[in-house]
Homo-oligomer: A and B are copies of this chain.
Amino acid sequence: MDEVFKALADASRRSLLDRLHARNGQTLNELCEGLAMTRQAVTKHLAILEQANLVTTFKHGREKLHYLNPVPIHQIGERWIKKFERAKLVALSELKRQLEKRDE
């Protein structure tokens, strides 16, 4: 779980996930196109995404195909966001109560 959050912390990596979401199964070079980064930098980002299990790869000849694995992202929603859903419901009223308490 820690690795997933850390992987998602970087904007370049989120954009790589966006690209895979737009078209799944891209090669490393395809993912590099149009980015202001060297191929090696992208390789490192993909390795981090892979270690967080957000991306799965298959080798096909000399190419490496990258696939988005949305399951960990879904788990964030399941385990973490839902935890704060109820809090969201009462947030406004709590803040309101606090603002009144402030004038004591």
- Which of A28-36, A38-46, A77-85 makes up part of the contact surface? A77-85
Residues 38-90 of A at the B interface (beta carbon under 8 Å): 56, 58, 60, 65, 67-71, 73-74, 76-77, 80-81, 83-85, 87-88
Give Cα A55–Cα B67 distance, bound, in whole angstroms. 35
Q: Is A81 a contact of B83 with CB atoms below 8 Å? A: no
Chain A interface SS verdict (over half) = helix
Give Cα A84–Cα B73 distance, bound, in whole angstroms. 8
Sampled A-B contacts (15; CB under 8 Å)? A2-B11, A5-B5, A5-B9, A6-B9, A8-B9, A21-B84, A24-B94, A25-B98, A56-B95, A58-B99, A65-B98, A67-B91, A70-B85, A74-B84, A74-B85
